[in-house]
Each structure stands twice: as structure tokens, then as C-alpha cells.
Amino acid sequence: MAARVDLDGKPIKPLTICMIGAGGFIGSHLCEKLMAETPHKVLGLDVYSDKIKHLLEPAGAHPWSDRIQFHRLNIKNDSRLEGLIKMSDLTINLAAICTPADYNTRPLDTIYSNFIDALPVVKYCSENNKRLIHFSTCEVYGKTIGSFLPKDSPLRKEPEYFVLKEDESPCIFGPIEKQRWSYACAKQLIERLIYAEGAENGMEFTIVRPFNWIGPRMDFIPGIDGPSEGVPRVLACFSNNLLRHEPLKLVDGGVSQRTFVYIKDAIEAVMLMIENPARANGHIFNVGNPNNEVTVRQLAEMMTDVYSKVSGEPSLEEPTVDVSSQEFYGAGYDDSDKRIPDMTIIHKQLGWDPKTSLWDLLESTLTYQHRTYAEAMKQAIAKPAAN
């Protein structure tokens, strides 16, 4: 492998990375990239390894086999954690409960997972002078300032009322009984703690705020590779509806807006953070694609069109159906209205820009969903009738 250089032309030394949550959606893509394109070593920690099985097995069979280890452990209660952090140059913490259906129905688990369970990770990094890249969320911004203006106010169109900036925007959450915000609040507090470790104890850190990263291997398809009653994030919910030939469910009219970024673009940003510590340390980075904004209704329509193209199956005459948030998520749900990331800081520090359009990223992702799940879905649907 050719010697790698950083953005300032300096050679990059091979690193040992302790990756917590390596078996998840983002972790699996990051492991893949690190194995295929770098000399870095990964100590992967997770309770599941299904999504990185192709990198781990057969044992010893891949060119990278001696650079990746998997440690099946729960960071809540495992004494191996500190040792693994100590053995590494860098820790990346991805572990979290991060599906909105859990925030209002399992608020205790959500708060423990996103705040309490992350505390030892921060402590061990600080005490052992190890660098930490911690995954937070765009949800720490909460609602936009513009959402509080009258519906017809012309100010709603002014970027200062909705563009989310790491060093300027406030964090605006709903009342406590709207337990949706348990996740955002826990993430905000761990961000503040990490920032304080940097300010008071000199810990080297980078905080990542992902804005709806999507792509293959995200979450699960209910009843196929996850619980039938489970509610994953929107990409998997809509994929599930498309695979089952049922209408896509629009929560509260599908009027919320999101910007979606392709996982492979976003992973490039994380690689730049890993390999350019002098430019990334002490920063909080938005990572998203402001050019890919749609309402959830528009996303449903586009996914319906793309899926019909990649599967060759005609779409339903009524491709969507409205459902209330109370019915879909239960009491205590609330929503972020709009999420446009400001890209100034990441562009200036790391020269990163997202590339892939929403249509293109949906085309490759839904091709993967169809290839991976269509046959299993056919069998699952046929089974009850056969019995």
C-alpha cells in the first residue's frame, strides 16, 4: 500500500483504533473503508457482529485479517473496555440507542445508552491521554428558530432562521413530557462533558453530528432480519413498505424536512477526521448534505419511483397513507421540523463536501435492499398462507 499523507502532506502513521459500536450501520462502513484502503488496525467492540461478518470471516482469509479483531462486549458492564482503549491510539464511540421509536417508549434506556454508558469511555480517554472521536447527532439542534414564527412569516425563508451552525445555533427542545427529546438531551450533555474535558483537562476530541446518513445495512427490515413489531428509521420503514407492496406511512402528513447524505460520502469525512487530528481536534462537525433536502412526503414519492425502477415492479396506485404520530410512535413523540447543516467549518478544516445526489444514493441503496431482501420477503409473505 502506498504511503498515506495527510492534508498537510505529512506521512500518516498506522493507527490502532478502538471502535465502539463497530457492528452497527456506520461502524460497518467505516471498518470496510479502513480495511480496504488504509494500514490502520481496528479493535471492534459491539454486542453484534452480523454487519461486519464479511470482514471477519473466514478467519485469516482476507488481506486485512490481521488488522481487525472483534470483541463481543457490552460497554455497560465490561472490565475489558479500559484495556482496549489503552491499547489504541484513537477511540471512536458509535455505540448508542438511536432509533426515534425508542426515544419516547424507552426513555430510560435511551438516556442511559447515550449519556451514562458513554461516561466511562470519556473518562478512560481523558485519564489515558487518548484521542476520542465521539458520535453525537444533528438532533442536538432540536427545532429551528423559524418553526416558532407564524406560518406565513417571510422570515421563515431567511437562512439565519433555519440553517444549523455548530458554533452559533441554540439547542431547542420540547417540554419534558415530549420524551422524544430524551435522546437529544442526553447527546447534548455528553457533548458538553467532552467539551469540558477538552477545556479543563486538555483531552483531544472531535464531535460528529451526523445529519441523516443513509445507505445499505441501515437498521433492519421488520420480520426479516429484525423484530416484526420493530420500528426502524425512515429508510428501513419505507424499504419495508416497498418490499411488502404496501403504502408508505407518512407520520403527521410527512411535512417534516430532512437532508439525506450518502453513507459513503459521510465516511470520507470521518476518514479525514481520523487522519488529520491537528485539523479535527477541538471541533464539532456537522456532516450532512444541504443540497439533498426533501419533505418526508417527497422522500416517500422518490423512493417509490426509484424502487419501481430498480425492481421492475409497478408502484401502487395509492403509494402513501397518512398516520398520526400518536398511532405510529405512541405518546410523547415530537419532531424536528427542518435540518439544514451549515458546512463552513468542515469545509474549512477538512476540505470535505458531500457529492452524491438523493436520487443516486436512493438508487444504489434500494438496489441493495431489493437484492438483499426481496426473495426472503416473498417467502415470509407466502409462509402464513401455506401453513
Q: Which residues bind ligand UDP (CB under 6 A)?
A: 100, 139, 212, 233-234, 237, 249-251, 254, 256, 258, 296, 335-336
What is the C-alpha separation between 21 and 24, in angstroms, rounded?
6
Q: With binding defined as CB under 6 A, does residue 76 bind ligand NAD?
A: yes
Residue 159 φ/ψ, nearest 5 degrees: -50, -35
What is the C-alpha separation between 65 and 85, in angstroms, rounded?
20
Given the rule CB under 6 A, which of 73-81, 238-246, 250-258, 352-360 is the region that contacts ligand NAD? 73-81
Task: Give the other-Cβ count within 10 Å of 121's Cβ.
Answer: 25
Q: Choosing from 124, 183, 307, 329, which is the catalytic residue?
A: 183
Q: Is the CB of 179 or the CB of 311 nearer to ligand NAD? A: 179
Question: Which one of 18, 19, 24, 55 is in contact with ligand NAD (CB under 6 A)?
Answer: 24
- Is 103 tagged catalytic? no
Given the rule CB under 6 A, which of 68-76, 276-284, 318-326, 336-344 is the region that contacts ligand NAD? 68-76
- Provide the minimum distance between the beta carbon of 323 and ligand UDP in the complex, in angstroms, as a whole number: 7
User: At 131, which helix (H) or strand (E)?
Assistant: strand 131-135
Q: Do you know the residue count of the chain?
A: 387
Q: Is the CB of 124 or the CB of 141 nearer to ligand UDP? A: 141
Residue 47 interacts with which of ligand UDP, ligand NAD, none, CB < 5 to 8 Å by class: ligand NAD
What is the C-alpha separation between 44 and 25, in angstroms, rounded?
13
Grid look-up 455497560 returns: 76
Residue 250 interacts with which of ligand UDP, ligand NAD, none, CB < 5 to 8 Å by class: ligand UDP
- Provide the minimum distance between the beta carbon of 136 and ligand UDP in the complex, in angstroms, as a whole number: 13
Question: Which one of 43, 90, 94, 248 is in contact with ligand NAD (CB under 6 A)?
Answer: 94
Packed helices 25-37 and 263-275: angle between N→C axes, nearest 10 degrees: 60
- Provide the minimum distance between the beta carbon of 249 and ligand UDP in the complex, in angstroms, as a whole number: 4
- Provide the minimum distance between the beta carbon of 86 and ligand UDP in the complex, in angstroms, as a whole number: 34
- Provide the minimum distance between the beta carbon of 169 and ligand UDP in the complex, in angstroms, as a whole number: 17
Q: Is the CB of 256 or the CB of 349 nearer to ligand UDP? A: 256
Q: With binding defined as CB under 6 A, does residue 359 bind ligand NAD?
A: no
Strands (DSSP E) found in 194-347:
205-210, 213-214, 248-251, 257-259, 261-262, 283-287, 293-295, 320-323, 340-341
CB 323 within 8 A of CB 262: no
What is the C-alpha separation between 94 and 199, in angstroms, rounded?
22
Angle at 227 between CA 223 and CA 229, to 5 degrees: 90
Q: Is the CB of 98 or the CB of 185 nearer to ligand NAD? A: 98
Q: Is the CB of 103 or the CB of 352 nearer to ligand UDP? A: 103
Q: What radius of gyration do the chain's Cα atoms show?
A: 21
Question: Which one of 88, 91, 113, 292 is in contact with ligand NAD (CB under 6 A)?
Answer: 113
Bridge partners of 41, per DSSP, are 16
CB 42 within 8 A of CB 305: no
Question: Cell for 362?
Answer: 436512493
Q: With binding defined as CB under 6 A, does residue 210 bind ligand NAD?
A: yes
Tell me which residues touch ligand NAD (CB under 6 A). Answer: 21, 23-27, 45-48, 74-76, 94-96, 98, 113, 117, 135, 137, 210, 212-213
Q: Which residues are catalytic?
A: 183
